[in-house]
Structures are given as C-alpha cells and as structure tokens.
Structure 1
Amino acid sequence: MAYVVTDKCIRCKFMDCVAVCPVDCFYEGENMLVIKPDECIDCGVCEPECPAAAISADSDPAAAPWIALNAEYAALWPNIAEKKEPPADAAQWMNVDGKFESAFSPAPAEA
C-alpha cells in the first residue's frame, strides 16, 4: 500500500507533506505534486499535513483514479526533498472542484 496525491493539490501545492516525508518520495510538477508509489513506505505522516486534504491512501476508493497518474508523473518529474513556498494564489484554489480538467499541467517543475 502507498499514498497518492489527488487533484486537490493542483494549483495549491502547499508542500507541507514534503517537509515530513522520511523517504523523499514526492515529485514536483509545474502545479502539483505526486508520490512515487514504489518509494512510499506507507507511513502516513504526509496525509494529515496537507492543508488541501489532497493525499489519500491508495486503498481508498476515491484514490483509484490518481494511482496511475502518480506513478506516471513520478517517473517524469523531478524529485523534491525540501519544502518550497506554495503559489501565491494557492488558498484561492483550495476548494475548487474539477481542477484536473481545467488546470492540470503535465509539465515538470522549473529548476
């Protein structure tokens, strides 16, 4: 079992989860983070740290659509091991629904 990041992270990207992850299994896209499933040790410390409630156990039925996306983009995006500042407008996006269709970017984070 592992944890996955859902669409609630899109345009929020608070990164509190990155600060507590003991194995650095987060990968950073332009406007979202993902978890590499084969690196996640299922410790669960990241889940309560996310202000946007964007992290779920992969056993949660609501997480099912995000399992493949996390694996796919973790293979493409750079690893992130230290917390960065969230986007300036992160709070405005926190409770927006349907962000994947309207705001997801497949681009990796800029170095």
Structure 2
Amino acid sequence: MTYVVTEDCIACKHMDCVSVCPVDCFYEGENMLVINPDECIDCGVCEPECPIDAIKPDMDAGLEPWIELNRKYSRLWPNITEMGQPPANAKEMEGVPNKLRDLFSEAPGEGS
C-alpha cells in the first residue's frame, strides 16, 4: 500500500504533509503535490496532516487514475522537502468540482 494525492489538492496545495514525511517522497507541481509511490514507505503520517483530506491510501476504490497521475508527475516534478506557502486563495478553492479538468497544471513547481 502507498498513499496518493487526489484532486482536492489541485489549486489548494497545502503543504503540511511535506513537513512530516520521513522519506521526502513529495513532488511539487505548479498547483498541486504528488507522492512518488515507489518512495512512499506507507507510514501514513501525511494523511491526517492534510487539512482538506486530499491524501488517500491507494487501496481506496476508484483511485487508479490518481495512482498513475502521482507516479507520472513524481518523475517530472521537483522533489519538495520543506513546507511552503499554499496559494493565497487556497481556502476558496476547497471543494471546487472538476479541478482536474479545469484547473490542473502540468507545469513543475519550484521544489525545495
């Protein structure tokens, strides 16, 4: 089992999870984070840290597309090891529907 970042992170990009990850398996895109499933040690400490419940165990139903998205972009985006600032409008973006279709950016983040 591993953990994956899901659609709720898009345009919210809270980074509380990054500060608790013991193996630094988070990667930063322009407007979301992903977890490298090959580096995740399944400790689960990141899941309760996410204030918008965007991190899920890969065993949850329907997450196959998110597992692949996390795998793909963790190979393309820079590793992030320190907590940064979420976007100024993160609170307003919580719960917005269709983020993958309407808001997702393939661009890399700045990394740390």
TM-score when normalising by structure 2 = 0.96
Deviation at 1:65, TM superposition (A): 1.8
Q: Aligned residue pairs: how many?
A: 111
State the 4+ residue runs in structure 1 displaced beyond 6 angstroms.
none
Q: Which residue in the other structure is 1:102 paired with?
A: 102
Determine helix, strand or coil for the equivalent of 1:75.
helix
Partner of 1:23: 23
Compute the displacement of 1:52 (Å).
1.2
Q: CA separation in 2, counterparts of 1:43 and 1:68?
A: 20
**Deviation at residue 55 of structure 1 after TM alignment:** 0.3
2:55 equivalent in structure 1: 55
- Amino acid paired to 2:47: E
Displacement of 1:20 after TM fit? 0.5
- Is structure 2 residue 18 aligned with structure 1 residue 4? no
TM-superposition CA deviations, 1:57-96 (whole Å, max 9, x none): 0111132220000000000000000000100000000111
Q: Distance in 1 between matches of 2:8 and 2:62?
A: 12
Distance 1:76 1:18 in 2: 18
Tell me, which stretches of 5 or more residues in structure 2 are unaligned? none
> What TM-score do you get using the length of structure 1 for normalisation?
0.97
